[in-house]
């Protein structure tokens, strides 16, 4: 009896291909009946294959047209994910709005998004009334979240002096001290994997008031560039390895809720824990309580297409 094999075409930017499509992955997939095939962007998609599934992370009108033509000609093929579902993720406000719509039934944990506002012009940026209810420090993020290098450029703003260096349209999100740890959650269908990564250090009251530069620029919270404010001593002191993971059932419920609401099958999102409820790594190092009873969590960022 012939072995059933599945052809999976992938369309990724060159950098993504180098990061994700390793020989070990291709070999493992092949041994399990899945043939990973690079889609040639110089040729029409409908002329390639046959593919049982197309995995992509490309944008633009021409690519959307090609996907639609492929879908019309191959109605049984699976596209992960549809451009229509991904579209909402290109705007950080609509991206995070779905988090506030989730209904979580966990009694011991609360989940939401930090306070935030959208700034479309310089006039609003310096309007103190527009800031009502929002306190420094804040994270400034581009409004557009299309996966480009520009969309990942952010800044931690300590005071009003730092506003001069910002270029609207941007989202200003209140910074929540979270123990220097961010939890990245990867979702592939019903499979959910949570890992911990280094993040921005907590900001003290002295830093809020005494920052001379007014802001600190960085690219991606969980992939920090070298900066004089952040060094290995900080992370060694905080015992990153001892930081306890969030409850798997809690994370899985969030993932399922996002998947249903957004109609996505392959995505990732970031979660942080409000340090005002205690630094879990420090408490464990001191022999303090364990577990996550009464913890407060925020969806700091989440992006479609892992």
Query: 184-222: per-residue pLDDT in tens?
Result: 999 999 999 999 988 888 887 666 655 656 778 876 554
What's the confidence (pLDDT) of residue 296? 56
- 139 and 237 share one domain: yes
pLDDT band of residue 293 (cuts 50, 70, 90) is: very low
183 marked ligand binding residue:
yes
92 marked ligand binding residue:
yes
How far is it, in rounded angstroms, from Cα 131 to Cα 128? 5
- Write out pLDDT tens, residues 153-171: 888 998 888 888 899 999 9
Higher pLDDT: 127 or 36? It is: 36
Higher pLDDT: 255 or 90? It is: 255
- 45 and 167 share one domain: no
- Write out pLDDT tens, residues 247-273: 899 999 999 999 998 899 999 888 888
What's the confidence (pLDDT) of residue 233? 55
181 marked ligand binding residue:
yes
Higher pLDDT: 219 or 121? It is: 121
Q: What percent of the chain has pLDDT over 70?
A: 78
- 190 and 107 share one domain: yes
Specify the pTM.
Answer: 0.81
Q: Give the mean pLDDT of 265-287.
A: 64
57 pLDDT more than 70: yes
176 marked ligand binding residue:
yes
174 marked ligand binding residue:
yes
291 marked ligand binding residue:
no
Domain hosting 217: range is: 92-301
How far is it, in rounded angstroms, from Cα 5 to Cα 263? 26
182 marked ligand binding residue:
yes
Higher pLDDT: 60 or 304? It is: 60
152 marked ligand binding residue:
yes
> What's the whole-number average pLDDT of the chain?
80
106 marked ligand binding residue:
no
164 marked ligand binding residue:
no
12 pLDDT more than 90: yes
Does some domain include residue 1? no
- 58 and 145 share one domain: no
Number of domains present in the structure of the chain:
2
How far is it, in rounded angstroms, from Cα 103 to Cα 257? 8
193 marked ligand binding residue:
no
pLDDT band of residue 288 (cuts 50, 70, 90) is: very low
What's the confidence (pLDDT) of residue 281? 36
- 149 and 297 share one domain: yes
298 marked ligand binding residue:
no
Whether a cis peptide bond, with omega within 30° of 0, leads into 204 is: no
Q: What percent of the chain has pLDDT over 90?
A: 35
What's the confidence (pLDDT) of residue 280? 41
What are the angstrom distances between the C-alpha of 221 and each of 102, 181, 251, 270? 24, 10, 19, 9
178 marked ligand binding residue:
yes
- Write out pLDDT tens, residues 209-219: 556 567 788 76
Does some domain include residue 297? yes
- 98 and 237 share one domain: yes
22 pLDDT more than 50: yes
- 73 and 168 share one domain: no
Residue ranges in the chain assigned as alpha helix (H): 14-20, 23-31, 61-73, 83-87, 92-101, 122-125, 205-210, 232-237, 248-262, 280-285
- Write out pLDDT tens, residues 226-242: 444 555 555 555 566 77
Does some domain include residue 155? yes
- 60 and 102 share one domain: no
């Amino acid at each position: 009896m012939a072995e059933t094999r599945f052809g999976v075409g992938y369309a990724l930017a060159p950098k993504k291909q180098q990061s994700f499509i390793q020989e070990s992955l291709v070999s493992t997939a092949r041994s399990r009946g899945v043939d990973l095939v690079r889609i040639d962007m110089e040729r029409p998609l409908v002329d390639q294959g046959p593919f049982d599934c197309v995995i992509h992370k490309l944008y633009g009108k021409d690519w959307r047209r090609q996907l639609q033509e492929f879908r019309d000609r191959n109605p049984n093929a699976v596209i992960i994910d549809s451009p229509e579902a991904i579209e909402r993720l290109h705007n950080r406000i609509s991206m995070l709005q779905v988090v506030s719509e989730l209904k979580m039934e966990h009694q011991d944990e609360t989940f939401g998004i930090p306070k935030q506002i959208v700034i479309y012009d310089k006039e609003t940026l310096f309007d103190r009334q527009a800031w009502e209810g929002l306190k420094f420090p804040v994270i400034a993020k581009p409004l557009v979240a299309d996966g480009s290098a520009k969309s990942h450029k952010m800044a931690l703003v300590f005071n009003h002096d730092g506003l001069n260096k910002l270029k609207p349209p941007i989202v200003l999100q209140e910074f929540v001290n979270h123990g220097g740890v961010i939890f990245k959650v990867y979702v592939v269908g019903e499979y959910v994997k949570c890992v911990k990564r280094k993040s921005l250090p907590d900001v003290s009251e002295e830093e809020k008031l005494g920052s001379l530069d007014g802001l600190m620029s960085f690219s991606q919270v969980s992939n920090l560039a070298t900066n004089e404010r952040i060094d290995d001593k900080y992370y060694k002191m905080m015992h990153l390895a001892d930081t306890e993971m969030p409850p798997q059932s809690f994370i899985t419920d969030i993932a399922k809720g996002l998947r249903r609401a957004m109609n996505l099958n392959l995505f990732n999102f970031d979660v942080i824990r409000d340090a005002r409820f205690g630094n879990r790594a420090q408490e464990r190092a001191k022999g303090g309580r364990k577990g996550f009873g009464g913890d407060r969590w925020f969806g700091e960022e989440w992006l479609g297409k892992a």
